[in-house]
Amino acid sequence: MNFSGLIQDFGPLTITGLAQGAIIALFALGYTLVYGVLRLINFAHSEVFLLGSYACLIVWGFFGLDQNSATPSTLSVIGLLLLGLVAAIVISGITALGVELVAYRPLRKRNAPPLAFLITAIGASLFISETVGVMTQRNIKGVPPLIQPRDVFVIGNMHVTNLQILIIVLALMSMFLLDRFINRSRLGRGIRAVAQNPDSAALMGVNKGRVISLVFLLGGLMAGIAAVMYDLKIGVTRFDAGFLLGIEAFTAAVLGGIGNLRGALLGGLLLGLLQNYAASLFGTEWLHAASFVLLVLILLVRPTGLLGESLGRARA
């Protein structure tokens, strides 16, 4: 165990872990929203993220940008980022709605058992992933260098870059807006009502079907934002890019408290930090294993996760 390396590089490991954790946290919100309302895990959410990661690349490709392009001017970067975000959000949102419409709604109308939803979600995930794999010939797709990482400030040996700040700030802003929407808006009250008691919510005039579609859409929007940040940070994507990150996001959702928005944020950030610390301490081959070991240990002590508050009882 390399304790000296962990202590020496604690600052750089922390900032990179927070940036990675911010992406995982946004990804995890989709699992949390759907579970909070349906008490089901949407394992097709990883492909919602996947299509968002390709959507922004396609838009940037329309402007002649690829992995070998030069970094555009500042104004061009802002415009391209906004266009990429819009494209990823739209495609991920539409994909999430499509998954709900095709894979979930027919089963809900037939009062299918939970296992049927699980199998259908896995099937939808494999179908989308393999379709993308066939269309891309399973090749890695490079990301245009829109943002050249540049130090903004330095604390000791911790170099904080513009890209890391962008990822963390964008994730926190997205989480804040979603939290305000769930806790303050009329539609958000409907989501919390259905999450708490679907039958009572229906008696009060809340349309359960619309609420379910809305939570899928919101999860898709968050996945689209995460997909753009993932592209910028990692620099490549491929047909199975959502698989491992999806498992990590699900782990983060459970770690913070499945069905809890703020728990997903906390779980994602903690998981990102833990992975970096574990990679430094034990070696990169233990990066993913350590996160699941921590998950098991926390669930043994607190089965509901760190925060453990359901979506239906969320507070402002």
Residue 306: pLDDT band by 50, 70, 90 thresholds? confident
Q: What is the pLDDT of residues 59-81, one digit of tens each?
A: 999 998 888 888 888 899 999 99
Q: What is the pLDDT of residues 26-50, one digit of tens each?
A: 999 999 999 988 888 899 999 999 9
Instruction: Give the domain extent around 54.
Output: 30-243
Q: Which position has the token pair 């968002």?
A: 52
CA–CA distance, 167 with 303 (Å, rounded to integer): 30
Residue 122 is assigned to a structural domain of this protein = yes
CA–CA distance, 32 with 40 (Å, rounded to integer): 9
Residue 99 is assigned to a structural domain of this protein = yes
Residue 307 is assigned to a structural domain of this protein = no
The total domain count for the chain is 1
Residue 274 is assigned to a structural domain of this protein = no
- Contacts for 24 with CB less than 8 Å, ≥ 6 apart: 226, 245, 248, 249, 252, 268, 271, 272
Q: What is the pLDDT of residues 223-242, one digit of tens each?
A: 999 999 999 999 999 999 99
Residue 91: pLDDT band by 50, 70, 90 thresholds? very high
Residue 125 is assigned to a structural domain of this protein = yes
Residue 282 is assigned to a structural domain of this protein = no
Residue 281: pLDDT band by 50, 70, 90 thresholds? confident
Rg of the chain on CA atoms, in Å? 20
Residue 107 is assigned to a structural domain of this protein = yes
Helices (runs of H) and strands (runs of E) counted in the chain: 13, 4
Strand partners, 159: 154
Helices 186-196 and 10-38 pack at an angle, to 10 degrees, of 70
- Mean pLDDT of all residues in 157-162: 91
pTM over 0.95: no
Residue 271 is assigned to a structural domain of this protein = no
- Mean pLDDT of all residues in 263-268: 92
Average pLDDT over all residues of the chain: 90
